[in-house]
Structure 1
């Protein structure tokens, strides 16, 4: 019973970061000529677009710094965009724009794409593990509520 209670308190993916380049950001990789190919990283951010390919799903992510639970901190300055190539099929309804995602994997290359009409260099990561963060509750419905009323007890 205690183990179940502790498991319920765990937050986030807690990916192993020992062999990762934790200070490396997508913006830095996009600016470099070699693109840090082969480097292992843990990045996260807000999903911009999800595209299902034949054998993988490509997720465009606007990166943000991660907190201690490896959750993207959208209240901080963004760190550029990157493409996460996840093996297999991901449901684009679940992995929809605005959702937060943390991924770990190896950098493969930098590709040129577009953000609107502007050319953009995207680092591409081959994803080993991903964690889709639960959607935030609606802040309107999570405010404290105070009710005042009169209770009536009826007896037979």
Structure 2
């Protein structure tokens, strides 16, 4: 009986985990490290991780990301060694104050080869032409400072 209840609880909880609609779809199971080692341009990928840098250009914005594995809902998890770094670029202007270092993002898009990025003498990184840039909400207690209460009793 206990096993049946546990199975029902697990199924009910797994139903609560849903991938946001913009991030749903079929994607190649390729890591950023694999994408650098092979020519996989044109493959559809869904990658995510912690944002390292946001750079705005006249027509597009590029994001440098330390990749992390994705949970069932496509949110990056884990702070250990990732799967490499990658660049994701999308047309339009994204505010670097909102897309600040340390934020979690997930991208869906098409691999556009690899390019050299001027970090530590120039690393070759895979580049994603992103269709979707998904900025995850910050978890509660993430370090945001709230204004002090006017009621100090």
TM-score normalised by the chain length of structure 1: 0.74
- How far apart are 1:87 and its partner, in Å? 1.2
Residue in structure 2 matched with residue 70 of structure 1 by the alignment: 74
TM-score normalised by the chain length of structure 2: 0.76
Q: 1:39 aligns with which of 15, 37, 43?
A: 43
Taking a change above 3 Å as real, the CA distance of residues 134 and 48 of structure 1, as seen in their structure-2 partners, is: same
- Give per-residue Cα distances to partners, 1:114-140, cap 9 Å, x unaligned: 3233x3111111110121011122268
Matched, 1:56 2:64: no
The aligned runs of 1:99-118 (5 Å cut-off) are 99-117=103-121
- How far apart are 1:10 and its partner, in Å? 7.7
CA RMSD of aligned residues (A): 2.1
Residue in structure 1 matched with residue 136 of structure 2 by the alignment: 133
CA contact (8 A) 2:19 2:72 kept: no
Taking a change above 3 Å as real, the CA distance of residues 55 and 100 of structure 1, as seen in their structure-2 partners, is: same
CA contact (8 A) 2:89 2:130 kept: yes
Higher percent of residues as helix: 2
Question: How many Å separate the matches in 1 of 2:24 and 2:109?
Answer: 11
CA contact (8 A) 1:65 1:76 kept: no
The aligned runs of 1:1-40 (5 Å cut-off) are 13-14=20-21, 15-18=23-26, 20-21=27-28, 23-32=29-38, 34=39, 36-40=40-44
- How far apart are 1:73 and its partner, in Å? 1.0
Report the number of matched residues: 128
Question: How many Å separate the matches in 2 of 1:25 and 1:140?
Answer: 30
Structure 1 residue runs of 4 or more that deviate by more than 4 Å after TM superposition: 9-12
Q: Which runs of 5+ in 2 are unaligned?
A: 1-15, 145-153
